[in-house]
Amino acid sequence: METKTMKPFPDNFLWGSSTAAFQCEGAAHEDGKGNSVMDVRVQDPSICNYEVAADHYHHYKEDIALMKECGLKAYRFSIAWTRIFPEGNGEVNQRGVDFYNNVINECIASGITPIITLYHFEYPQGLVEQYGGWLDRRSIEDYVNYCTFCFKTYGDRVKYWLTVNEQDHVNHMPFRIGFKSTSVLEDEKKGYLANHNMCVAAAYAIKACHEIVEGGKIGPAVCFDMHYPTSNKPEDGLAWLDSMDLRNYYVLDMNVKGKYNPVFKRYLEDRDMMPEIHEGDMEAMKTNKPDFIGFNYYASKSISAFPADEEHPIGDLKIKLLPAEEPGAYKIVKNNNLTATLWGWEIDNIGLECVSRILYDRYELPLLITECGFGNKETPDENGYVEDDDRIDYLSKHILSVKKAMNVGVEFIGFCSWSFMDIVSGHSGFSKRYGFVRVNREEHDLKDLARSKKKSFYWYKETIACNGENIK
């Protein structure tokens, strides 16, 4: 909706940026850290692994100094579970505990609010080997014990926490849960069992946070794409409703409302994928609500009807990673009204405004954008400088969408770009760069890992300094 005037960003708006431990820290086998499922996954040999990444483990002081220079109000980062508990449970690794104490203290000394993600894809391989990981109920207790340790250790300084990053994606990617893929349907069934256990674990972690961390606020961090009907055909509108229930709402409905929404529940029952619900599970979710919703936004999807037939029966899933089509429900198709990144992600800043309004209306909780960014291949000049005007354009338009959503009443805590410095992309290695700060390394050539500021660094610094008054 257009209005005659535009409200400014509030003075306490958290201008931030994000990273994830396995994608930036490196030091994958140093100082007592155990293996996570990301450390042992089978990697495409054409892209780098996570052993060195951006070497943030050894450069964190330099990186946080750059954050301070940029004016960041918040730094969202994850704790690598296996730096604290190398096997996922059992003995504590004090060197890992000390590292995150140092990072937190460095942030606070620099005037930066730490926002900690407790679990960002790095599930302990030790728990997979002990009992199958998230597919076993013991995973709930181990996750809550790990979270409780973090709350007790860091909660005197850290007040913002995130339970699980992109749980909605983890469910559909066997390697991120730690089991070997069999059939797509069996993978999905295991994924939804893991999803249920994660939701129960998150509820008890929320309870622990509220009991232990004075003034602590905690919420999930989901990936939420905007979906549109491809046309004004009624069947495309119905497919859009199905896609929102089956792809977007289901985790948050469990996290916030403590229930399986009816469409999602019927979908699971019809396909024999409904997990066993134990006594107290749903009550734990209903009782322990998050304080806010963190969400990652990158793109939108266009949705068409996909009627089931003999060739495409109900339950026929052929695409393993985040199913792009569900016979009898929906199909994702190209949106010819949008441009896309080099990796085919359709760029849609208006979609962020739509998502923000939908989330706030449906769940009535403050919002925190935990990731939003533009990945690209980049060539620096001889001084390491990158003219990343495309990133500036992308972020300017998306932040304007946040401003417009706030203007009509949506409550935001802050905006965290992805990512502050270049890091290893989850699927595309170091060639896909997101940062305001360039890290001088290539896919398999570590070079000197020197940091250099891109053009977008100075733009974001100006944006923060004027509290977004340049966003118009």
Beta carbons of 418 and 398 less than 8 angstroms apart:
no
Annotated catalytic residue 122: no
- What residue type is 33 in one-letter code? K
C-alpha distances out from residue 278 to 138, 195, 264, Å: 13, 14, 18
User: What is the number of other CB atoms lying within 10 angstroms of the CB of residue 210?
Assistant: 16
Angle between helices 455-465 and 389-407 (to 10 degrees): 20
Q: Could you give the CA distance from residue 81 to residue 357 in angstroms, rounded to a whole number?
A: 33
Provide the sign of the torsion angle of the four alpha carbons 352, 23, 158, 81, taken in this order: positive
Active-site option among 106, 122, 353, 371: 371
Q: Could you give the CA distance from residue 422 to residue 24 in angstroms, rounded to a whole number?
A: 8
Residues 6+ away with beta carbon under 8 Å from 150: 79, 84, 116, 118
Is the bond into 419 cis (omega within 30 degrees of 0)? yes
Active-site option among 166, 326, 346, 378: 166
In terms of Cα–Cα distance, which of 88, 158, 156 is closest to 125?
Answer: 88
Annotated catalytic residue 346: no
Q: Could you give the CA distance from residue 133 to residue 128 in angstroms, rounded to a whole number?
A: 4
Please give the span between the terminal C-alpha atoms of the chain, in angstroms, as a whole number. Answer: 15
- Report, as residue numbers or ranges, the catalytic residues: 166, 371
